[in-house]
Amino acid sequence: MKAREISIDVHKMSLTLPKYELYETGSQIRRSSKSIRSNIVEGYGRRVYQNDYLRFLIYSHSSIDETKDHLDTLIETGSLTDETTYHAINEKLDHLGRMMHNFIQGVQLRN
């Protein structure tokens, strides 16, 4: 599952940040990346109720955007200096964002 892979990558990356970022943006990016997968799982558990399912899928998609914003902030402020890691995680988030968008559209069409 791509969301699981991203949350693990983000967690590992966040542990390499400077100490002052570990409890600020580091903590926020860990939570938002874990929220991506948690909302997918919670939505799937409510899939019988289409509106709930869609709501959690949209929350997950929003968490992708939030994680991308935290990642951008870390690279822009110089707290994350490993550009290879930045690009790898950013590409995975972009790909998952496109997948989630298409999946949400597919669920909406079932109405």
Domain-by-domain residue ranges, the chain? Answer: 2-109
Say if residues 26 and 16 touch (Cβ distance below 8 Å).
Answer: no
Question: What's the pLDDT tens digit per position in 23-67?
Answer: 899 999 999 999 999 999 999 999 999 999 999 999 999 999 999
> Where would I find the H helices in 25-82?
25-45, 50-76
Nearest to 47 by CA among 37, 35, 57: 57
pLDDT of 92 reads 98
Yes or no: domain 2-109 corresponds to CATH 1.20.1440.60: yes
Structure tokens, 75: 């690279």
Q: Where residue 109 falls among pLDDT bands split at 50, 70, 90?
A: confident
